[in-house]
Amino acid sequence: MQAHPENRSEFGVEGQFGNGWEWTSTEFGPLQGFEPFPFYLGYSANFFDGKHFVIKGGSPRTAACMLRPSFRNWFQAHYQYVYAGFRCVKN
């Protein structure tokens, strides 16, 4: 069972999953309880350097099994292949 069938959020917004990574202003670092992937020890920890920022979601190049709003990755602003965008949020 999908959490968001047909790419629609619980608020009825469509087409947000997998269209592009969402940039955040959060520095990429370990979350509480962080443990590196046993098969790729350097994938995250090597980028806890203050130069990388959190991006969330996914892009057309992200494996479908990983696409979800909470998926967290890292990039730097000068990377040309990030497939990132932004969302405007009003509180």
Predicted confidence band of residue 4 (pLDDT cuts 50, 70, 90) = low
- Sheet strand arrangement including 84-85: 72-75, 53-56, 21-27, 84-85
Q: By C-alpha distance, which of 65, 60, 56 is closest to 31?
A: 56
pTM of the model: 0.68
pLDDT tens profile 9-20: 677 776 665 577
Buried b (16+ CB within 10 A) or exposed e, 45-66: eebeeeebbbbbbbbeebeeee
Predicted confidence band of residue 72 (pLDDT cuts 50, 70, 90) = confident
Residue carrying structure tokens 């040309």: 80
The DSSP bridge pattern shows strands 72-75 and 53-56 to be antiparallel
pLDDT tens profile 5-58: 566 667 777 666 557 788 888 999 999 998 887 777 778 888 999 999 998 888
pLDDT of residue 2: 47
